[in-house]
Amino acid sequence: MSAEVNTSGNPKVDTKKAKSSSLWLDSMSRLLKSKTSVIGLLIILTLIFTAIFAPYVATHDPTEQDIFNRYAAPSSDHWLGTDELGRDIYSRIVYGSRISIQIGVIAVGISMVIGVLLGIVAGYFGRWIDNIIMRFIDILMAFPSILLAIALVAVLGPSLTNAMIAVGIVGVPHFARIVRSTVLSIKETEYIEAARASGVRNGEILFRHILPNSMAPIIVQATLSIGTAILDAAGLSFLGLGAQPPKPEWGAMLSDGQAALQTAPWVIMFPGLAILIVVLGFNLFGDGLRDALDPRLKQ
Amino acid sequence: MLNYIIRRLVMLIPVLIGVSIIAFSLMHLIPGDPARSMLGEKATEDQLELLREELGLNDPLAVQYGRYVGKVIKGDLGESVKSGVPIAEELASRLPATFELSIFAMGVAIVIGVLAGVIAAVKQYSWFDNISMTGALFGVSMPIFWLGLMLIWVFAVILGWLPPSGRLSLDVELETITNMYLLDSLLTGNWEAFADAFKHLLMPGLALGTIPMAIIARMTRSSMLEVMRQDYIRTAKAKGLAKFLVIFQHALKNAFLPVLTVIGLQFGYLLGGAVLTETIFSWPGVGRYVYLSILGRDYPVVQSTILVVATIFVIVNLITDILYKYIDPRISYD
């Protein structure tokens, strides 16, 4: 807590800073006390470390083919074996972590930017604007998300970029609904009424007062959505609609390895495990974050 | 109650109009010429023009949409560009397979998920709670297409216990009535076919049901924990009611409402997830039909299927809402 003595002799306490820093510090301390959240955080940090230092962590070039070494079993030379073109599976998984992070950040970024904007506008302005936006969100939610993503990529054309756009679009309703409900409660608070009464413009109220106070649920949703986005994009790549060869995307690696299920199961075993562990990491961390930011939710 | 159902049905209309607009727009999101995209680079200008005429792509958008909706209302979903077969017929023949798979997966998910959630809540912080909730966490993070492949590897390739694909073995005969093989074999008393169809359903059903099972288990546990702290549960325990009755008749009944919401929402997930599961297990349902149509760039099929599946999903959610009243009569619809 920061305090200073002013000329009148009364202590001047920066209550706003003190309250906000303690809110976040309290949450972080609660978060780090949870074992599962720490495990999730460690998985995420390992993923980021692997992606950044991929050239040092990998043992081979991920696209280097060795046709004399096709479907080689795990060994000291190829830790997780090789695939149908003799490429090192471990190194492909390592480089695939870069694609997973890219998918998570871009797809969730799309969902978040569009969803937050729609939610904040619907919640703040209400009336017909809210009605139009929320009916649009209802319509989007009428589609099973993975099916809508599949249909979108099918018509836009199979590529990693289109897969990220599709996964991003189907994630919009979750952000919009969460932000709208948060804004609905915040806009009735006294400090927003005071800002309105003192003539502050709507844009400023929205982005300087309401948005910063809605960040907690947005951060939780974003963390949980990254795992879902990675899972959905891997599903699209598995169907041949996402990343295209020779990109070492984990879902695409599973798709390529299907033919060798009987003879070389390691080709599909390890990329799938990588997806599972990374998604688990984001889910564990997201769950922990939600409990830490709103302890009332913890059971 | 009847008023509520009528009001909800009326409210469905704008949602279904929106769904039809999105499904209709899909064809127009195709970059470049949709006819060229469907027929490929080798198609002649005459062939392209013929397809454009057939699909009405030369007309203004509003006219196209009006015609599309008019046909859909009459049950005409158009024809497959590749096979020329009416899409409604194809969907009608495949929907029972998808329903059978989805209902089986949901059944497995509800039975195991609710039981695990109830026991985990009653024995909070016990080894069962820890193991089942860790399992549920893995479940919600599971890539079902990978799980499907792993199940095939273990139970079909290594152990040879279960068939890796299809709905029924070639040497098993079954007279079909509903086209849901498990039900048909029961109706005709064909136990050999029942056992065979059940074996074929097990792996795809488990793969598809894993995520809903995990979500239902987590939701049941959390909802039960909240209900178990209520005064009326304490009263029921205090007056010496059997533990089983307290849990299942008093607590679960009241804890089931949020679980029911999850079940309704997860049914939509099952219809979407069926694309992946049916592709892996060569299950001849709607999901595999969509997948094959995407590979063949048969866009009218994709468009119609997504419209039908979204409509089913909306209706399932409506039924879920109506079921609330039966589970909790305190809910007022006025």
Report the pLDDT averaged over residues B2-12. Answer: 84
**Minimal C-alpha gap between A168 and chain B (Å):** 16
What residue type is A64 in one-letter code? E
For residue A152, list chain B residues with Cβ-Cβ distance below 8 A: 26, 29
Among A139, A151, A279, select the one facing B15 at the smallest CB separation: A139
**Minimal C-alpha gap between A152 and chain B (Å):** 7
Task: Note whether B157 contacts A261, CB cutoff 8 Å.
Answer: yes
Which of B33-42, B120-129, B228-237, B240-249 bottoms out in mean pLDDT, i.e. has the lowest?
B33-42
Per-residue pLDDT, A21: 59
**pLDDT tens-digit series, residues B225-271:** 989 888 999 999 898 888 888 888 888 888 888 888 888 888 878 88
Among B26, B222, B268, select the one facing A151 at the smallest CB separation: B26
Two tokens at A75?
């060994």
Q: B330 or A249: whose pLDDT is higher?
A: A249
DSSP one-letter code for B79: B
Chain A CB within 8 Å of residue B128 CB: no
Report the pLDDT averaged over residues B287-292. Answer: 92
For residue B221, list chain A residues with Cβ-Cβ distance below 8 A: 299
For residue B152, list chain A residues with Cβ-Cβ distance below 8 A: 261
For residue B278, list chain A residues with Cβ-Cβ distance below 8 A: none
- Checking if the pLDDT of B124 tops 60, the result is yes
Question: The CATH number of B96-284 is which of 1.10.3720.10, 3.30.1180.20, 3.80.10.10, 3.10.105.10?
Answer: 1.10.3720.10
The secondary element (H helix, E strand) that includes residue A280 is: helix A266-293
For residue B314, list chain A residues with Cβ-Cβ distance below 8 A: 142
**pLDDT tens-digit series, residues B172-189:** 999 999 999 999 999 999
Minimal Cα distance from B301: which residue of A?
Answer: A151
Exposed e or buried b per residue across A72-98, where buried means at least 16 C-beta atoms within 10 angstroms of its C-beta? beeeeebebbbbebbbbbbbbbbbbbb
- Checking if the pLDDT of B99 tops 60, the result is yes
Alpha-carbon distance values, A222 to A112, A152, A286, B124 (Å): 7, 22, 8, 29
Rama region for B79: left / alpha / beta (φ>0; ψ in -120 to 50; rest): beta
The rounded distance, in Å, linking the Cα atoms of B101 and B117 is: 23
Task: Note whether B290 contacts A147, CB cutoff 8 Å.
Answer: yes
- Checking if the pLDDT of B331 tops 70, the result is no
Using pLDDT thresholds of 50, 70 and 90, give the confidence band for residue B273.
confident
Three-state SS letters, A149-210: HHHHHHHHCCCHHHHHHHHHHHHHHHHHHHHHHHHHHHCCCHHHHHHHHCCCCHHHHHHHHH
Report the pLDDT averaged over residues B195-202. Answer: 97
DSSP one-letter code for B86: B
Sequence-distant (6+) residues with CB within 8 A of A272 are A250, A254, B143, B146, B147, B149, B150
The secondary element (H helix, E strand) that includes residue A11 is: strand A11-13
Sequence-distant (6+) residues with CB within 8 A of B297 are B37, B38, B40, B81
Among A239, A254, A261, select the one facing B152 at the smallest CB separation: A261
Sequence-distant (6+) residues with CB within 8 A of A262 are B153, B157
Q: What is the ipTM of this complex?
A: 0.90
DSSP 3-state assignment of A13? Answer: strand
Report the predicted TM-score, pTM, of the whole model to 2 decimal places.
Answer: 0.90
**Minimal C-alpha gap between B91 and chain A (Å):** 16
Q: B197 or B43: whose pLDDT is higher?
A: B197
Minimal Cα distance from A226: which residue of B?
Answer: B141
**Minimal C-alpha gap between B156 and chain A (Å):** 10
Per-residue pLDDT, A6: 46
Chain A CB within 8 Å of residue B153 CB: yes
Task: Note whether A155 contacts B272, CB cutoff 8 Å.
Answer: no
Which of B34-48, B70-84, B301-315 bottoms out in mean pLDDT, i.e. has the lowest?
B34-48
Residues of chain A with pLDDT under 50: 1-9, 11, 13, 299
Interface contacts (A, B; CB < 8 Å): 141
For residue A138, list chain B residues with Cβ-Cβ distance below 8 A: 15, 18
Sequence-distant (6+) residues with CB within 8 A of B260 are B320, B323, B324, B327
Contact between residue B302 and residue B290 where contact means Cβ atoms under 8 Å apart: yes
For residue A148, list chain B residues with Cβ-Cβ distance below 8 A: 272, 306
Tell me how crowded residue B225 is: count the other CB atoms within 10 A of its CB.
17
DSSP 3-state assignment of B135? Answer: helix
**pLDDT tens-digit series, residues A43-82:** 999 999 999 999 999 999 999 999 999 999 999 999 999 9
DSSP one-letter code for A46: H
Residue the block writes with tokens 């997948």 = B291
The rounded distance, in Å, linking the Cα atoms of A89 and A107 is: 26
With a CB-CB cutoff of 8 Å, which residues 64-103 of chain B face chain A?
none
What residue type is B249 in one-letter code? Q
Q: Which of B164, B189, B175 is nearest to B283 (CA)?
A: B164
Per-residue pLDDT, A74: 95
